Structure 1
């Protein structure tokens, strides 16, 4: 028989004994020392231990216990007595039984508004199961804790969060006999970078310019760029939503507010810079430091070669 049998509550427990000779009798005992059942060539008997009453079945090779319960866990010992004609002596062996409640009701909770550079916490809970552990994945890849990511059972903390932390997260709660998975998407919100050296928006992004005016009746608005009309997307709207496609969309944008009764007007203007590449202060500093270190290494190599050549002379 195997040294360990694992089942979930409510299932049938089956201990199977492999025998190589004729058996005269086989008896099973629980860890309390109580004999559970006996099989002989002439029949079977059940000692009706209260815990197992009505759930036992024994044969020449098996002990079956129906509707497993958590308190059925423990060690069981079988004693086999061969027939006298085999010339063999009786022997015994123990098997450990572990019983688990199956995992149920797994739920993953993610924040509705995770913000870049802030603390982000995800939690995984379950309503049922014994000896449950949680495994975390992002986009189907196991998550490894590091200096930013802490995992403690059903809790995952990212501090600080980055925009590339966005994705599909899954938590699998499991024990030795069952598992359930819950999956949720995490969105990380972030502010636009302030580009060093100028630039308001990257090519491909949407920029919103807002124009306001106090007027009675309410003013209507129109937009121009370098003297050419620009559609705001909503007629007479004071908000211009511009999907950028190239740096050629840089320029001076003018909003004109018009009172339909007095015919009075007022204007507001914006200088918009659309750029291909945007580096913030930290990125620029990193580039400068990297370039300096690279130059320093080159200088040191040159000095080393000069010294080496002079010594050989």
Structure 2
């Protein structure tokens, strides 16, 4: 595609015919050669004297010098000293080839036949360097800033063209400085990609690629970060509190019913708020970034846990439920574990979302999303942790129950012995 583009522009610059074939403009690179055509075949018999001249400068300061002369019957042409060894003349039609071109060879070359100017053989030669060492310079990579991409090329380009990911650029991109600079106002995440600058002149072309990475967090994604962070903080409170209650419930059994109610309501209220926060973060994530399978499963799971947590909190407020809760260790253990599981899940999802946002901010546009894949291993770890916890809790509770039963039997046996032994009468004690 670049080659076709270059050829089309080269053809437009290579030969430029003005006003009835009177002047031909040709571009050549330094060090190359140029062929200057002679008279047509029908006029060759009439040509007795060939003379080429070159005109340099502008209309106010114009100089004309000879290049080559040849009379019919001469053995070799007459050349200026600067052209000796570089010019090959063809006496049959007056054409010649000039080699090792330099910038001093620029000018308007005119052919005279028999001292008469031939307008069809008027050539304007332009010498230009080949383009090389192209690069793209950027002034910024921040979100919502005005980014300017400037094409820097060694040589004299005659034109520039820009592409984005192999396609033509579109609005709101703007071209300035004769298309050398590409302006991206109010850069967004969608503006990142691979930009290509193609610099062209009639003798060569070159291109440079630049991968634009835009750093920053879009304003609409701040809700995701704030909600995830709030869910993470709020979930730590019931997570730590419920674990402490599970491990130190012997001491807490002496607490009053009101204290239990307030304690568990505060823990479960924090748990509910954390679930609401993470549900909000997941909802915004799905709306803004699409419904990935893991995110959909996560939001459904969080919704189920939220319903369960609200139901448990309402049940705890009922005094009858509190009494059953205090009297039934299995119900209490399941409620404790469910609260801890909710907190653990909220912590895991919050960490995954925050890791995704940090990763996108650090890597800009080209993000390899890996954080969601860690959610499944976290769930497996959750099952292992609470399986171990449940075994330890049951063993400890069984040992404590057995110890209490044994202590009760010893106390009863001791009380029984003291009851069987009646005190001696007072008169026996006196004797």
**1:29 aligns to 2:83 (yes or no):** no
Give distance in 2, aligned partners of 1:248 and 1:13: 76
- 1:198-277 to structure 2, matched below 5 A, reads 200=224, 243-246=294-297, 247-251=299-303, 270=346
Give distance in 1, aligned partners of 2:295 and 2:345: 18
**Equivalent pair of 1:108/1:171 in contact (CA under 8 Å):** yes
- 1:184-195 to structure 2, matched below 5 A, reads 184-191=210-217, 194=220
Quick one: structure 1 residues 17 and 194, their matched pair in 2 at CA, closer, same or farther if it must change by over 3 Å?
A: same
- 1:1-313 to structure 2, matched below 5 A, reads 3-19=24-40, 20-21=42-43, 22=45, 23-31=47-55, 32-42=63-73, 43-50=75-82, 52-59=83-90, 60-61=92-93, 62-81=95-114, 90-93=116-119, 94-110=122-138, 114-127=141-154, 129-143=155-169, 149-152=174-177, 153-191=179-217, 194=220, 200=224, 243-246=294-297, 247-251=299-303, 270=346
- Once the two structures are TM-superposed, the CA of residue 250 in structure 1 deviates from its matched residue by 3.3
- Once the two structures are TM-superposed, the CA of residue 182 in structure 1 deviates from its matched residue by 0.7
Give distance in 1, aligned partners of 2:29 and 2:99: 11
**Equivalent pair of 2:173/2:182 in contact (CA under 8 Å):** no
Return 5+ residue gaps in structure 1 as ranges.
82-88, 202-206, 214-224, 227-241, 254-264, 274-313
Helix, strand or coil for the counterpart of 1:137?
A: strand
1:77-118 Cα deviation digits (max 9, x unpaired): 10123xxxxxxx94423221111111111112346x723211
- Once the two structures are TM-superposed, the CA of residue 49 in structure 1 deviates from its matched residue by 4.2
Give distance in 1, aligned partners of 2:221 and 2:147: 26
- Once the two structures are TM-superposed, the CA of residue 131 in structure 1 deviates from its matched residue by 4.7
**Equivalent pair of 2:161/2:198 in contact (CA under 8 Å):** yes
Aligned length: 218
Give distance in 2, aligned partners of 1:195 and 1:90: 79
Give distance in 1, aligned partners of 2:294 and 2:200: 47
- Once the two structures are TM-superposed, the CA of residue 181 in structure 1 deviates from its matched residue by 0.6
- Once the two structures are TM-superposed, the CA of residue 9 in structure 1 deviates from its matched residue by 0.8
Quick one: structure 1 residues 36 and 200, their matched pair in 2 at CA, closer, same or farther if it must change by over 3 Å?
A: closer
Helix, strand or coil for the counterpart of 1:106?
A: strand
* Greater per-residue strand proportion: 1
**Equivalent pair of 2:27/2:203 in contact (CA under 8 Å):** yes
Give distance in 2, aligned partners of 1:95 and 1:185: 43
- Once the two structures are TM-superposed, the CA of residue 11 in structure 1 deviates from its matched residue by 0.4
1:160-189 Cα deviation digits (max 9, x unpaired): 112221122001112122110111222233
Q: CA RMSD in A?
A: 3.9
Helix, strand or coil for the counterpart of 1:189?
A: coil
Structure possessing the higher radius of gyration over alpha carbons:
2
Quick one: structure 1 residues 18 and 249, their matched pair in 2 at CA, closer, same or farther if it must change by over 3 Å?
A: farther
Give distance in 2, aligned partners of 1:189 and 1:109: 17
Return 5+ residue gaps in structure 2 as ranges.
1-20, 56-62, 237-273, 276-292, 307-339, 351-431
For normalisation by structure 2, the TM-score amounts to 0.43
Give distance in 1, aligned partners of 2:211 and 2:301: 34
For normalisation by structure 1, the TM-score amounts to 0.57
